[in-house]
């Protein structure tokens, strides 16, 4: 547990980066529109942040984690799909 862990973009970004790196198959599935990929990644994101916080997340915090996870996925998609 991290004492006084605040769920902010700055705090969760390194955690979510690890979720993306650790679940590349699901990220690829999300990019292909595979059913369940987003739900899996959103769940992993919340569970991993909750583990770091050492407590359940409030509704507002879960929504921030989901929003930031979506942002991370869009960044990956843009890098892969964008011009090189």
- What residue spans define the domains of the chain? 9-76
pLDDT tens-digit profile, the chain (84 residues): 556 899 999 999 999 999 999 999 999 999 999 999 999 999 999 999 999 999 999 999 999 999 999 999 999 999 987 664
Q: How far is the CA of 67 from the CAs of 60, 62, 64, 72, 83, in angstroms?
A: 11, 9, 5, 9, 25
Cα radius of gyration rounded to whole Å, the chain:
13
Distance (Å, whole) CA 38 – CA 55: 23
Distance (Å, whole) CA 40 – CA 45: 9
Give the global pTM: 0.89
Task: Indicate the CATH number of 9-76 among 1.10.10, 1.10.1670, 3.30.300, 2.60.40.
Answer: 1.10.10
């Amino acid at each position: 547990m991290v004492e006084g862990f605040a769920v902010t973009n700055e705090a969760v970004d390194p955690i979510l980066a690890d979720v993306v790196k650790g679940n590349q198959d699901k990220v690829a599935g999300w990019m292909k529109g595979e059913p369940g990929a987003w739900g899996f990644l959103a769940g992993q994101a919340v569970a991993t942040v909750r583990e770091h916080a050492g407590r359940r997340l409030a509704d507002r915090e879960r929504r921030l984690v989901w929003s930031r996870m979506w942002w991370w996925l869009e960044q990956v998609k843009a890098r892969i799909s964008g011009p090189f």
